[in-house]
Amino acid sequence: MPENIRVYYNLSLLYDKIKEQNLAEKTLINGLKVDANNESLLYALAYHYSTHNQTEKAKNIALRLVRLYPSNPQYMAFLQQLN
């Protein structure tokens, strides 16, 4: 089901839970290849990076979320937390 974005999201959470961070990241990135501006996948990837000491990557994605979805104040707050 490569067109079902939720599969990528859920699978990445599973990988993260079993401490397979590289697979979690790869799964989110693969999902973004299907839908490059998917809000859920972008946020999940930004959060993933922020919890695995990859702050610059997290900031870049959070900034992208702010630009793509300016009506969602959660993304600006997340970006500010990363600074």
Q: Name, in order, each residue with C-beta under 8 angstroms of 6's C-beta and a sequence gap of 6 or more.
A: 40
Which of 63, 10, 11, 2 is closest to 33 using CA atoms? 2
pLDDT of residue 3: 78
Tokens of 4: 């079902």
The whole-model pTM stands at: 0.92
Total domains in the chain come to 1
Average of per-residue pLDDT values in the chain:
95
Q: What domain range includes position 46?
A: 5-82
CATH code of the domain in which 68 resides: 1.25.40.10
Phi, psi of 32, deg, nearest 5: -70, -20
The pLDDT score that the predictor gives to residue 4 is 86
* Statement: residue 2 has pLDDT above 70: no
Average pLDDT for residues 51-80, to the nearest whole number?
A: 96
Residue 64: pLDDT band by 50, 70, 90 thresholds?
A: very high
Q: What pLDDT does residue 1 have?
A: 62
